[in-house]
Structure 1
Amino acid sequence: MHETLTGWGWIGLLCIAAGFFLSSGIGARRNRQAVPLNAVLYTVAVSLCTLSYILIDKLNLQHYTPLSLLEVSNIGFLLGLIPFVRLREIRRCLKDKQRLRELAIGSVLSPGSYLLFLLAMNASKLAYIAPLREIGTVFGAFAGIYWLKERKEAARIVSACVIFAGILLLGIGGR
């Protein structure tokens, strides 16, 4: 993509990677048991998939507008998920007002956030925008602790802070 980073940008990327490493529990023993190999492989697979679709989105934005790319993605998701749709579940959701409200909110927020990401990626370098996609990990960690009352593990808080520091280093000093 013909993009370059400064030394601070590379340090930011390393901080983000280190934060994910810390949050996964790899290298730490919990209850004297090592992290299962499957967990490590899934973590690597998710990282590679995320990297792939962000890169593909950036390449597609050279040929399509963000809105048209969102439309094509939604059609692809629809076609890919149709075989797994259960009509009984749809009927049950349509009868339950609370679930229907949640579906409506999700139907706006999910594509809305993706559209905002595509607009930002269209206006900036991939190296600056792609790590922002991971800010959800930071928000998710704190939301889980404070709103969902999950356990306050020091490693989760530290890893979220390291990821956030990496995003700041990349955004501020990475140019």
Structure 2
Amino acid sequence: MLHVIYTVVLQTGYRKADYFVVYPTARGTGPALTALVAVCVFGEELSALGVIGICAVLAGIVFLAMPNKDKTIKGGLGSGVFWGLLTGFFIASYSSLDGFAIQLLGMAPLIYYVPGMFVRLLFLGPPVLLRPFARAAFKEDLQKRWKYALFIGAAHPAAYLLVLFALLYAPLAYVAPTREISMLLALFIGASALKEKITAHKIFGVVCMLAGVILLALAK
């Protein structure tokens, strides 16, 4: 249910506010809150190196997600921050629940994840099938973009399962920010496929994130 609410909140935020405000706010807030929950609620102990690593990754997220100078904020800044923070709250919520289920309850990642997929399908599927314009868009996607849908349908659960398996070997406070290194891949895809500019602040973001991941790997 947390994933269902997260999906609705995220999409609402993207409709009501600018992507370049919502996205970095959400991706930075989520791991930060998750690390806080891991320490305060789950009793995880972080070394000084781990704390520095988490901060470096979070700084990298912010710098990587910052828009280029040619991008303008079309939506209200306050609205974007609000939806970003709300999205980050639900990211932290489901991430913390993941850690509780895998690390404290000892659930197997596959057994934990698969039922949740059916719950999401149950709550998010009917709105697509019941609305005429949504059915038309869904039909068009199946006809014209089925290869992309097939790839995403396989890659998304595979990526999430890897995160759950990582929780078997590392503290939640380290796993939550480290999973955001996917933003590095997104940066290079944007540069090669979408011809986006790699600016100085994005390069600095890459350096911060890589340094943070290395520090987390060395932390005890």
After TM superposition, the score normalised by the length of structure 2 is: 0.67
1: CA distance, partners of 2:216 / 2:171: 11
1:93 to 2:136 alignment: no
Task: Please list the CA deviations of residues 138-173 of structure 1 after superposition, one character each: whole Å capped at 9, or x if unmatched.
Answer: 22122212332112222122113212211211122x
Task: Please list the CA deviations of residues 63-105 of structure 1 after superposition, one character each: whole Å capped at 9, or x if unmatched.
Answer: 5321111112201210221233133333333333xx1222211
Q: CA deviation at 1:58?
A: 1.0
SS in 2 for 1:123: coil
1:20 to 2:44 alignment: no
Task: Please list the CA deviations of residues 102-147 of structure 1 after superposition, one character each: whole Å capped at 9, or x if unmatched.
Answer: 2211111111111111111123221232222111122212221233
Q: CA deviation at 1:60?
A: 1.8
Question: Paired residues, what number?
Answer: 169
Structure 2: which amino acid aligns with 1:168?
Answer: I
Higher mean C-alpha deviation, range 103-112 or range 34-43: 34-43
Q: CA deviation at 1:38?
A: 2.7
**Structure 2: segments with no counterpart, 5+ residues:** 1-41, 129-133
Q: 1:75 corresponds to which residue?
A: 118
Percent of paired sites with the same residue: 27
Q: 1:120 corresponds to which residue?
A: 166
1: CA distance, partners of 2:69 / 2:86: 22
Contact 1:138 1:164 in 2 (8 A): no
Q: 2:95 corresponds to which residue?
A: 54
Q: 1:64 corresponds to which residue?
A: 107
2: CA distance, partners of 1:101 / 1:146: 20
2: CA distance, partners of 1:153 / 1:124: 33
Q: 2:14 corresponds to which residue?
A: none
Contact 1:16 1:162 in 2 (8 A): yes
Higher mean C-alpha deviation, range 65-74 or range 80-89: 80-89
2: CA distance, partners of 1:94 / 1:24: 31
